[in-house]
């Protein structure tokens, strides 16, 4: 072993850059994957305009209300029966032969799940495939 001033000159200090490059590559890959690139239109287009007002056809809406005790109302007409068959015939009558009518299910928050499923089954039997559910926007608690 050598001690003294000549010992340090024999062992030159080296800086290992490989871990530094590895970290930089990981950061570069992370930035490439997480950056969203805004894509602008390559062509400048001037869209045509029309002078006439466009006709909007809105489909017929059939509102089915389901109360908390399982009673049904189709377009504000309360049904006497709670059966699926009576509900399906009421939906057919309300649709008036239009297959594109939208059934809006407006169920009470405490209504039984089976009551809502009965509305879906009645709509299927009536041939009405477009369904949606009505809800209220909840007020935020302060």
Backbone angles phi, psi at 34, to 5 degrees: -95, -10
The pLDDT of residue 52: 61
69 is a domain residue: yes
> 37-58: per-residue pLDDT in tens?
665 545 555 656 666 665 566 6
CB 122 within 8 Å of CB 92 = no
55 is a domain residue: no
Q: How many beta carbons lie within 10 A of that of residue 20, not counting itself? A: 10
Q: What is the CATH number of the domain that holds 106?
A: 3.30.420.270
CB 108 within 8 Å of CB 66 = yes
Q: Can you give the residue range of the structural domain that contains 125?
A: 61-133
The pLDDT of residue 44: 57
127 is a domain residue: yes
**Which whole number is the average pLDDT over 34-39?**
70
Q: Does pTM top 0.85 for this prediction?
A: no
2 is a domain residue: no
Bigger pLDDT: 29 vs 57: 29
The pLDDT of residue 125: 92
> 8-23: per-residue pLDDT in tens?
555 677 888 899 999 9
Distance of CA 53 to the CA centre of its chain: 31
As for how many domains the chain has, the answer is 1
107 is a domain residue: yes
> 71-128: per-residue pLDDT in tens?
899 988 888 888 999 999 999 999 888 878 899 998 888 888 899 999 999 999 999 8
The pLDDT of residue 122: 93
- If you ran DSSP here, which 8-state letter would residue 62 be given? E
């Amino acid at each position: 072993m050598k001690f003294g001033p000549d010992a340090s000159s024999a062992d030159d200090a080296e800086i290992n850059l490989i871990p530094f490059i590895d970290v930089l590559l990981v950061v570069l890959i992370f930035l490439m994957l997480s950056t969203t690139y805004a894509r602008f239109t390559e062509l400048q287009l001037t869209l045509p305009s029309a002078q006439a007002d466009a006709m909007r056809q809105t489909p017929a809406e059939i509102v089915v209300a389901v109360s908390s005790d399982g009673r049904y109302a189709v377009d504000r007409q309360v049904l006497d029966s709670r059966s699926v068959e009576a509900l399906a015939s009421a939906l057919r009558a309300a649709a008036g032969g239009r297959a594109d009518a939208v059934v809006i299910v407006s169920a009470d928050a405490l209504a039984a799940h089976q009551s809502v499923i009965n509305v879906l089954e009645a709509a299927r039997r009536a041939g009405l495939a477009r369904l949606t559910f009505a809800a209220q926007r909840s007020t935020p608690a302060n």
